[in-house]
Amino acid sequence: MKKLFILNADDLGMSKTKNKAILDACQKGFLRSASLCVNGDEYEDAVVNVVKKCPELGVGIHLNIIEGRALIPKSSLTDASGNFKPGFIRLLARSRNRKFLEDVENEFRAQIEKGRKDVNFDHMDSHVHTHGIPGIFSITARLAAEYGIKAVRTQYEKPYRIPRAKKNITLSFFVNRIKIILLNTFTGINKKRIKNFTTNNYLIGVGYTAMMDSQAVEYGLGKLAKIEKSIVVETLFHPDANNQNNEYQIPFDFKLLDKIKKMGFEPANYSGPVK
């Protein structure tokens, strides 16, 4: 029975400060997985100064149709300037429209084609969880199989609370609870479509989005430690060297890593266990 723990940094390639944070977390900490935004402003910097300098880092593609400039600038996803029109709810509302889904597939394909020239991707996920929308997940699953990407993130999070934490009474905490309900529902639908690739069993990082720290990781894993079967748990976070807060500090907390191992979890990325 194996319990694998994947700590994954999202938003690689979106800025130099995010790239620097992920580089430091890999070289000086225990980060071994990250997701690369191919249309990010600092994509080339991420490839040269992070991916090539961290061969032990498992890198996924962070599909993005919600922020920044599209690779295909003229589509139903963009405004007149070629920038994505923001909003998860807008994407959800259009997710049964055939032309919209064609444009999503074309943009996803363009991002994969660009990224695979530089990176051997070991998983797929998305910015703001947009690939979790069932109509979009079907496209993601098909492309994963086509391009031989062996894992796709799903978003089932077992709700938990950190005892006596002030963050439990913030507006963000209650908004994140609604996100969990929505994403858990989507995951129940999407897991029926998993073929020719694998996924994580659980995700940590939605309930405490924008409030992640070592304590959030510890209590999230503690909720899953008693499960008596092999599982893969991914914890996502968003480090930035410009904001060296509690979230940035997670991969440097080796006391946390010891606790993770004592709970029976083996550090890993989507390619398998890591040192």
Q: What pLDDT, on the 0 to 100 scale, is given for residue 230?
A: 96
| pLDDT over 80 at 148, yes or no | yes
Pairwise CA distance, residues 18 & 12, whole Å: 6
The Cα–Cα gap between 174 and 266 comes to: 31
* pLDDT higher than threshold 80 for residue 225: yes
CA-nearest of 44, 93, 46, 39 to 67 is 39
Tokens matching residue 156: 């089932």
- What is residue 164's predicted lDDT score, i.e. its pLDDT? 87
% of the chain at pLDDT higher than 90: 94
Question: 206: pLDDT confidence band, cut at 50, 70 and 90?
Answer: very high
Domain span at residue 103 reads 3-273
pLDDT the model gives residue 195: 84
pLDDT digits (tens, 9 = 90+) for 27-61: 999 999 999 999 999 999 999 999 999 999 999 99
* H/E run at residue 60: strand 58-63
For the chain, the helix, strand and coil percentages under 3-state DSSP, each to the nearest 5: 45, 15, 40
**Mean model confidence pLDDT for the chain:** 96
d(CA 8, CA 156): 16
> Cα dihedral sign for 209, 234, 32, 261?
positive
The tokens for 147 are 């391009």
Cβ(149)–Cβ(86) below 8 Å: no
Please say if the pLDDT value at position 1 is more than 80. no
- In this prediction the pTM is 0.96
Confidence of residue 84 (pLDDT cuts 50, 70, 90): very high
Alpha-carbon distances of 145 from 62, 105, 234, 275, rounded to whole Å: 16, 14, 21, 28
- Domain count of the chain? 1
Report the CATH number at residue 237: 3.20.20.370
Radius of gyration of the chain (CA): 18
The predicted model gives 5-13 an average pLDDT of: 98
The angle subtended at Cα 238 by Cα 160 and Cα 257, nearest 5°, is 65
